[in-house]
């Protein structure tokens, strides 16, 4: 299981007895990424048995309390637990000073290096890359500078068909050249295309996180054909005016964006506390985009090509 998503929080600004503020965890090839850190995030991590010490990167979409209030306690707990290796925080640029000031105000002395990465909120940029993954920002439209995040796997090296090695009696040197992405050049000058010689066992997948924002298509090109799209749905379709006034979206708007993007699956979240039951929001979204589900706290999903097949957790 290479690309796993766990929902820690699905509520908007006001938590409920059943829903917590925003937080998602991605486990990508045993590399753990936390997206947003609302109040109670560290308790949710413990509840769902995700080791805090495995977190190396925290992405903050914007500086509203329901997305950041949990970070101070989490950073403090990591220090109390003896963390020594660096922790990277990616957030809108003005959060850096706030973070440092609040840590000082709370007399929190970290035993590890906290590396802050200031993000531009007006344009998309690549903010993280390793051998298997790339992360880009998605400019959102909210009451304060806000960003979404696009996590995209990189293609893995292709394998050579065994029958091709046999057919062309390939030498070790030729095998290495093809593995490096080159065509095969035969003794008679003929070239056999790389794609004809090789195959891939793995199809890269992608996940886009979009919260909080009014309806906007400004990043539509970036999320084209994304496998799983998480989009806020603070309100139902009848509350479109209220959504616009507060810088949020409706379930119908989220579904419209998913349809236009050609997403594999849509996860709705960031539900207003006014909704005791969220099924009606999902059902109305499904009238536009049938492959819609609700963010359910504690559920872990495997992200696969074309979308989200279902929960892996009990």
Catalytic residues: 66
Is the distance from CB of 153 to CB of 3 less than 8 angstroms? yes
Q: What totals of helices (H) and strands (E) does the chain contain, helices first?
A: 10, 18
Identify the helix (H) or strand (E) that includes residue 228: strand 228-232
DSSP-based three-state secondary structure for 307 = strand
Q: How far apart are CA 46 and CA 69, in angstroms?
A: 17
Q: For residues 4 and 29, what is the distance between their CA atoms, to the nearest angstrom?
A: 9
Look at the block and give the residue holding tokens 């707990």.
77
Q: Which of 6, 1, 2 is nearest to 269 (CA)?
A: 6
Establish how many alpha carbons lie within 13 A of residue 229's alpha carbon, considering only the half-sphere containing its beta carbon. Answer: 30
Sheet bearing 23-28, strands edge to edge:
114-119, 87-92, 55-59, 31-35, 23-28, 3-9, 300-302
């Amino acid at each position: 299981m290479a690309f796993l998503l766990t929902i820690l929080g699905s509520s908007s600004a006001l938590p409920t007895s059943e829903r917590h503020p925003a937080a998602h965890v991605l486990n990508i090839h045993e590399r753990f990424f936390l997206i947003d850190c609302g109040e109670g995030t560290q308790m949710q991590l413990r509840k769902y048995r995700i080791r805090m010490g495995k977190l190396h990167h925290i992405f903050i979409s914007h500086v509203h309390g329901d997305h950041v209030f949990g970070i101070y306690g989490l950073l403090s707990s990591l220090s109390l637990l003896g963390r020594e290796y660096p922790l990277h925080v990616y957030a809108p640029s003005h959060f850096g000073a706030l973070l440092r000031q609040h840590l000082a105000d709370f007399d929190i002395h970290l035993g590890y290096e906290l590396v802050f990465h200031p993000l531009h909120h007006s344009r998309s940029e690549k903010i993280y890359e390793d051998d298997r993954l790339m992360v880009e920002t998605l400019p959102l439209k909210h009451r304060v500078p806000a960003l979404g995040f696009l996590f995209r796997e990189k293609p893995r090296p292709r394998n050579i068909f065994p029958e091709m090695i046999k057919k062309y009696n390939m030498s070790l040197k030729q095998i290495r050249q093809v593995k490096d992405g080159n065509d095969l050049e035969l003794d008679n000058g003929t070239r056999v295309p790389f794609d004809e010689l090789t195959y891939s066992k793995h199809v890269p997948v992608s996940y886009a996180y979009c919260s909080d924002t009014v309806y906007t298509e400004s990043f539509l090109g970036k999320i084209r054909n994304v496998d799983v799209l998480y989009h806020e749905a603070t309100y139902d379709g009848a509350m479109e005016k209220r959504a616009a006034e507060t810088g949020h979206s409706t379930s119908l708007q989220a579904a419209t964006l998913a349809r236009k993007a050609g997403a594999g699956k849509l996860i709705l979240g960031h539900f207003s506390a006014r909704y005791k039951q969220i099924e009606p929001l999902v059902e109305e979204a499904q009238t536009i985009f049938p492959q819609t589900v609700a963010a359910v706290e504690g559920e872990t999903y495997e992200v696969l090509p074309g979308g989200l097949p279902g929960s892996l957790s009990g």
